[in-house]
Amino acid sequence: SYELTQPPSVSVSPGQTASITCSGDKLGDKYACWYQQKPGQSPILVIYQSNKRPSGIPERFSGSNSGNTATLTITGTQAMDEADYYCQAWDSSAVVFGGGTKLTVL
Amino acid sequence: EVQLVQSGGGLVQPGGSLRLSCAASGFTFRSYWMHWVRQVPGKGLVWVSRIKSDGSSTDYADSVKGRFTISRDNAKNTLYLQMNSLRAEDTAMYYCARDSVVVTALDYWGQGTLVTVSS
């Protein structure tokens, strides 16, 4: 079965750039998307089709996807961005999530 | 405003059954695929199942195949997950989510409902 691998944790200082990676076999040939989940809340879609932002998502969130790696980039990270982030792709008829990355802003 | 309001969680004994519901509003429910995703507290998201807009096609994760059944009532704008032969490892928060073919992602999520399987 298809697998997506994320680092368990990433730390960033306020105002700096955070990058969260997601690796999977030939992931660049698929659409990747990213979800943000804060404690006690449901996930929110922040990036779809690898590099597009839904309405209402700040411009500091961006995405890329090439080769075997998709990347979520947060430019000018704010304290409110501290959350768990999950990548997701499609494998035939199933949805696959990465294991999640806890982003700490300190 | 798109809303997905879930109900039906709770405590159930191993081997028991439970049905989750997800009431949709604010969009044309019959036009969208829908999914169930679960999350063990403190762990990651795991996909469970999906159903086509007209209910004619379903898919399941191997871990629930043969025990869980996803269904929908487009007249009532409601999604269901019938869970049978429940195991301790099915304990999790369960989310319903809308699948937007336009964005090829799960663009709206319910608030979640907790299922606890324990004796």
pLDDT at B30: 97
| pLDDT > 90 in chain B, percent | 96
pLDDT at B22: 98
**What's the gap in Å between the CA of A25 and the closest CA on chain B?**
19
Average the pLDDT over B83-110 and give the result.
95
With 90 as the cut, is the pLDDT of residue B27 above it? Answer: yes
Joined tokens for residue A8 = 């368990």
| pLDDT > 70 in chain B, percent | 100
> Residue B35 and residue A95: Cβ atoms within 8 Å?
yes
> Residue A88 and residue B59: Cβ atoms within 8 Å?
no
Average the pLDDT over A85-95 and give the result.
92
With 90 as the cut, is the pLDDT of residue A53 above it? Answer: yes
> Residue B104 and residue A33: Cβ atoms within 8 Å?
yes
With 90 as the cut, is the pLDDT of residue B12 above it? Answer: yes
Q: Which residues in chain A are closer than 8 Å to B109, comparing Cβ atoms?
A: 42-44
Contact A71, A32 (CB under 8 A): no
> Residue B105 and residue A100: Cβ atoms within 8 Å?
no
Q: Cβ atoms within 10 A of the Cβ of B29, count?
A: 22
> Taking CA atoms, what residue in A is nearest to B39?
A42
> Residue B47 and residue A96: Cβ atoms within 8 Å?
yes
Residue pointed to by tokens 């336009």: B102
Confidence bin at A1 (pLDDT 50/70/90):
confident
pLDDT at B74: 98
Q: Which of A9, A8, A36, A4 is nearest to A22 (CA)?
A: A4
**What's the gap in Å between the CA of B23 and the closest CA on chain A?**
16
A96 against B100, higher pLDDT: A96
Q: Which of B5, B12, B14, B22 is nearest to B81 (CA)?
A: B22
Q: Flag the least confident range among B13-17, B86-90, B98-102.
A: B98-102
pLDDT at A71: 98
Burial class (CB in 10 A: 0-12, 13-18, 19+), B25: exposed
Q: What is the pLDDT of residues B53-95, one digit of tens each?
A: 999 999 999 999 999 999 999 999 999 999 999 999 999 999 9
Average the pLDDT over A26-34 and give the result.
96
DSSP β-bridge partners for residue B20? B81
Confidence bin at B9 (pLDDT 50/70/90):
very high
A85 contacts chain B (CB < 8 A): no
**What's the gap in Å between the CA of B90 and the closest CA on chain A?**
18
